[in-house]
Structure 1
């Protein structure tokens, strides 16, 4: 009776070990799948990050080009204002200079 009880216990323990082994294999398979999915997601994220970094670099370069163009346009505007002021001054003083020249004659 003790022998049968021991054999039954041994059989139950063997069944439990078999179930535990099957659970372990299932968990290993799930872990491998999860790891693969995580690596794929990380690769996609790294690709997205690289694309964003490239886009940011392009945006910075474009902003620098716009700034240079703005500065050139601002210089031209200031030059045009100076030329206009000189022309207005010349027009305003021209009759006076003409009158002065006429009185000298």
Structure 2
């Protein structure tokens, strides 16, 4: 396993976790509103803004991290391994015309 693979997996996990936190805070805000706990609602709304900001930051960095690591990796050559792996696992299939260029 290459270090770049681990960085990409870590980036994906972080992005996913931020969205889980966003959903959790939205649920807590709704629950706090339902029971009339304005203080918990206010704190959760502050935390939600921070989580949304972090998710946006990560989203803006995902492409840069991917291309940067791919360029540094010996496997990052134009051999199409990344696209082939995605296609085998059923993830967002890459058109055949693009696979050779990966």
- TM-score tier, shorter chain, comes to 0.3 to 0.5
Q: Which has the higher helix share?
A: 1
Q: Give the greater-gyration-radius structure (CA).
A: 1
